[in-house]
Structure 1
Amino acid sequence: MRATYKTLFGCVLISSVLVNALGSISAMLVGAGLGGVAVAAVYRYLLESENCNSKWTHFNSTGLEFDLDHKLFGQHVASRVILKAVTGFMNNKNPKKPLVLSLHGSTGTGKNFASELIAENIYKEGMASSFIHQFVSTVHFPHQRNIENYKSKLKQWIKGNVTICPRSIFIFDEMDKMQPGLIDSIKAYLDYYKNLDGISYRHAIFIFLSNAGGEKIMQVALDFWRAGRDREEMELKDLETALSLSVFNNKQSGFWHASLIDKNLVDFFVPFLPLEYKHVLLCGMAEMAAKGLKPNHDVATQMAREMIYTPKTEKLFSVKGCKTISSKLDYYT
């Protein structure tokens, strides 16, 4: 999956453990006949390589709040929940369990992007950090016949990487396509245990991403609109209970009858609302700026208008959210 997994089973990794033993390494290098220049080069490599310490992992609460408010469009509920959950967890020096977030919503609503914002405000290297581990169900766990092997490997990957860095993040994408029963294999790592076999998982973060529950969220948003209520009036309580039940009872979901839900180990089910025309417009403007282009309102308007919206009568929500904005921008510019 990531380089850190490979290092546990035969490859060489110069990790934070070795950094704490610089003196010993120096002695070995000198003993091997290497001169001062070579020793200095190794020292420099070790000191400049990412390590699991405050230089490389430092939470920026202000940065996360700014990013959620100004970069994640149309998601006032998700932004509020994520900010409070992550800030509270990161500021807690002695959490009782890992932070477990399950992000739900239709495609293109910002679930992956929200995960990136979290990573960028915890790790100096952002999503490129070696302490972030991503799993995509259709890529890493595609075959039902191999589920027992997947379970074993998944537990090894998590255990090995938390051993290297307790402040690790594990992101599971396409939970709606995961083999049922697989995710329960890591239940013990998400529970309230102080340690398992001498390893504490309490400082890790687990993020699940899923399209499951998207229809339920869309229905609540549509009901608000039809009732003449403002979108920003929606709160977590309006969505979370129905969302968790929908996911738990969805036979097509990796959470189907999962004990993670039954045992209340998921801290927050975070709903991502369907995006409206105004949000797609903002995505277009932001994408132009991200690509170093001067934001052009006419171009953004043209892209937003050509998106497909649902339901057929109201045409209120973008079917693909902002997912295809980047490729459309390449066409229009």
Structure 2
Amino acid sequence: MGEQDPSDRLRGDFPKEMKENGMASFSQFSSSVRAMVRIRQKYQAIKKRRLEIAAVAAQSLTSPRSTSPKVFTFDNLHDPINSNPSSPRKRKKKRKLRVLYPSSSLRAVPTKERSRAKNCLYLLCIIVFLQIYNAIENLDDHVLKYDLDGLEKTLKREVFGQQEVAESLLSHLHDYLSTYVHNKPLVLSLHGPTGVGKSHVGRLLAQHFRSVVGDDLVMQYFVLHHCPTDDDIPQCTKSLDSHVSEMVTQAEEEEKIPVFIFDEVEHMPRELLDTLQDLIHPKNNNEYLNAIYILISNLGREDITKFVLHNSSIAVSGRLSLNQELNPWLRSYLQRYHMLFLEAELLPFMLLEKSHVMDCFIDEMSREGFYPDRSHVERLAEELSYYTVGERAFSHTGCRQVVAKVNLL
């Protein structure tokens, strides 16, 4: 247990100290080597950058000098490689949208939630479409029920020289008969000189609508026949009111539109005109709205004749419709005569030319069984009197004397 010999202590500790000194020297050497490698890499990077800057400067010196001012930016200094247009640009890859599923579950697309509001919207659109379609079909069926195509053929075949009036008449009837519910009745007022076809058109309308809606819903009222004297006026007004009311009530039950044709309105007394106005323009109720009233008269015939004769050149050239020019004046005249014509659709009849009178002769002779020889027809037409305006000849009495002339054959 004594003290250890110094010589032994020196022999045992020397190798250990030598080992520790060797490890320290190796670590110092490795750290210095790493420092030298970093310095070399940094030097090479600085050298490379200087070479690139020198190359860019040399290229700028060799290029032609520009007189425009230069703007200095740091783009080329920070990223000279990307500034080269020849270097390809990397495209960004589109990110694929994927649905990740757990490994323990089935791979199925999530079900979309159904919107009840969208289904209701689709159903509403279908219902509106069906209603519009049914309404259009009902309009067509309602018009077809009155056979206006047949009426058009009849007017073209039997009415001469009044094409514009016939087209306007059919247009008003078609628009009114397209629906059953109306806010006012249709009032058509036919005006013109004697013999131009007003009463003839009234008879054709009565015949046509009797075949369509029945005899009970069509009334032809001739003032000189139904109310010949002034003493009969109170009874006439009462009977007219009751008759129209009965027809309107019956038409409402049958869902049809009645037709009332009043001829010789210029001979109608004031009391009858007032009664007719109350029927056409009801103030306190909505009755009598689904009805057609046709008024036939020769009111303003002298002025209509003068207007046609003075503007015959316009009618020939076709620059203007005489009806469009005549209607404003005729309406103001008729409103001064009676307020019955306030909301009436005016259809003025023009004077008939000689060619139209010849057509009347041919039609009437065919009805009576005579052969309509052209020369014979011209000779009969020459017996009538005419207004001469330039090369045109307008008959004084239209086709009124045609029937009497044919009966004398």
Whether the aligned pair in 1 keeps the contact of 2:315 and 2:321 (CA below 8 Å) is no
2:189 equivalent in structure 1: 102
**Mapped partners of 1:295, 1:87: distance in 2:** 35
Q: CA deviation at 1:247?
A: 2.9
Q: Which of 278, 288, 294 is equivalent to 2:355? A: 278
| Aligned length in residues | 264
| Deviation of 1:322 (Å) | 0.6
Contact 2:221 2:261 in 1 (8 A): yes
Larger radius of gyration: 2
Higher helix proportion: 2
Change (3 A) 1:146 1:228: closer
What is the CA–CA distance in structure 1 between the aligned matches of 2:244 and 2:326, rounded to whole Å?
31
1:60 aligns with 2:147: yes
Unaligned runs of 5+ in 1: 1-53, 250-255
Selected match of 1:175 from 265, 274, 281: 265
Q: Which residue of 2 aligns with 1:330?
A: 407
Q: Which amino acid is the alignment partner of residue 122 of structure 1?
A: F
Aligned ranges for residues 4-153 of structure 1 at < 5 Å? 58-124=145-211, 129-153=215-239
CA distance in 1, matches of 2:407, 2:396: 20
SS at 1:123 equivalent? helix
Which of these residues, 364, 371, 374, is aligned with residue 297 of structure 1?
Answer: 374
Superposed, 1:220-231 pairs within 5 Å as: 220-226=307-313, 229-230=316-317
Q: Residue 262 of structure 2: SS of its match in structure 1? A: strand
Provide the C-alpha distance between the structure 1 equivalents of 2:167 and 2:251, rounded to a whole number of angstroms. Answer: 28
TM-score for the superposition, normalised by structure 1: 0.70
Contact 1:280 1:321 in 2 (8 A): yes
Q: Distance in 2 between matches of 1:232 and 1:76?
A: 17
Q: TM-score, normalised by structure 2?
A: 0.58
* Structure 1 range deviating more: 288-297 or 69-78: 288-297
Alpha carbons of 1:130 and 1:307: their partners in 2 closer, same or farther (altered >3 Å)? Answer: farther
Q: Distance in 2 between matches of 1:314 and 1:297?
A: 21
Distance across 2 between alignment mates of 1:190 and 1:179: 17
Shift of residue 233 of structure 1?
A: 4.2
**Which amino acid is 1:271 matched to?**
P
- Superposition CA RMSD, Å: 3.0
**Structure 1 residue identity aligned to 2:340:** L
CA contact (8 A) 1:58 1:121 kept: no
Structure 1 equivalent of residue 43 of structure 2 = none
Superposed displacement of residue 193, structure 1: 6.5
1:228 and 1:138 map into 2 onto residues whose CA distance is 35
Give the one of 264, 281, 297 matched to 1:191. 281
Cα distance in 2 for partners of 1:314, 1:141 equals 44
Contact 1:287 1:326 in 2 (8 A): yes
- How far the C-alpha of 1:279 sits from its partner, in A, is 0.5
Q: Which residue of 1 aligns with 2:364?
A: 287
Q: Can you list the C-alpha shifts for 1:195-237, whole angstroms capped at 9, x where unaligned? A: 55xxx32222111110112222212211122567447942432
Superposition deviation, residue 312 in structure 1: 9.8
Which structure ranks higher in relative contact order (CA pairs < 8 Å, sequence separation ≥ 6)?
A: 1
- Percent identical among aligned pairs is 27
* Match of residue 343 from structure 2: 265
**SS, match of residue 215 in structure 1:** helix
The answer as to whether partners of 1:81 and 1:270 remain within 8 angstroms in 2 is yes
Question: 5+ residue gaps in structure 2?
Answer: 1-140
Residues 19-54 of structure 1, C-alpha deviations (whole Å, 9 max, x = no match): xxxxxxxxxxxxxxxxxxxxxxxxxxxxxxxxxxx9
2:335 to 219, 231, 248: 248
Distance 1:118 1:232 in 2: 31
Residues 314, 297 of structure 1: CA spacing in aligned structure 2 closer, same or farther, 3 A cutoff? closer
CA distance in 1, matches of 2:408, 2:232: 41
1:62-114 Cα shifts (integer Å, max 9, x gaps): 12222233321111231121010111111122222221111001111111221
CA drift at 1:296:
2.3
Give the whole-Å Cα distance in 1 for the aligned partners of 2:384 and 2:402: 9
Does residue 1:161 correspond to 2:247, yes or no? yes
